[in-house]
Copies of this chain bind each other. A is one copy, B any other.
Amino acid sequence: MSDLRTAINPLFLREEELRQAIELLFFAYRDFTAEPDAILAEYGFGRAHHRVIYFVGRHPDMTVSDLLAILRITKQSLSRVLGQLVDEGFVTQRPGARDRRQRLLQLTEKGIELERQLTERQRARIARAYRDAGAEAVEGFRKVMLGLIDEDDRGRFPPRGGVRR
């Protein structure tokens, strides 16, 4: 028996470890998006609507440009989705005070309610995983995930100062 790959070659372990990470990302993302997708379908929306609702909820008064930079899609792609959300009363726009060319985006009450409904499933999934894994594992998770993200977007995640006491 004694498999050459595992018994002798440390490069195989490395390869296996990296492949597992690829699959962890695939399966985690697949399952992480499945629940909200099912809710969205009831509204005739898709995942793109969720992203808009999520980030507008997270950063009220963000501009269209900000949103495009986060989503990394074209404005033509955003246009349909955002237009639908505005038409159906989930998102409102108002001109920027400093720069009146900007359209600052906000969620309506209806939008806030949908955002809450969509995100609470995801939060519950994460809360369970965090609880089961423990605080130390959570720190490791954050570290690795940050390392996977392009450098220019890491600044979105403030370093967590240890709780002073």
Q: Which residues of A contact B (CB under 8 A)?
A: 14-15, 17-32, 34, 51, 54, 58, 72, 119, 122-123, 125-130, 132-134, 136-150, 153, 156-157
CB distance from A123 to the nearest CB of B (A): 4
B156 and A23 contact, CB distance less than 8 A: yes
Q: A19–B58 Cα gap in the complex (Å)?
A: 9
Residue among A17, A23, A32, A147 having the largest count of chain B Cβ atoms under 10 Å: A147
Q: Is the interface of A mostly helix, strand, loop or mixed?
A: helix
Copies of the polypeptide in the assembly: 2
CB distance from A142 to the nearest CB of B (A): 7
With contact pairs A126-B18, A140-B136, A140-B141 given, residues A146 and B24 touching in the complex (Cβ less than 8 Å): yes
With contact pairs A130-B144, A138-B140, A144-B133 given, residues A150 and B22 touching in the complex (Cβ less than 8 Å): no
Residues on the B chain within 8 Å of A136, using CB? 136, 140
A147 and B129 contact, CB distance less than 8 A: yes
Determine which of B20, B126, B148 lies in contact with A22 in the assembled complex, contact meaning CB atoms within 8 Å.
B126
Q: A157–B25 Cα gap in the complex (Å)?
A: 12
- List the 9 closest A-B pairs by CB distance, nearest first: A140-B140, A129-B147, A137-B140, A141-B144, A133-B143, A24-B145, A137-B143, A28-B148, A18-B123
CB distance from A9 to the nearest CB of B (A): 14
With contact pairs A19-B58, A153-B27 given, residues A145 and B140 touching in the complex (Cβ less than 8 Å): no
Nearest residue in B to A152 (C-beta to C-beta)? B31
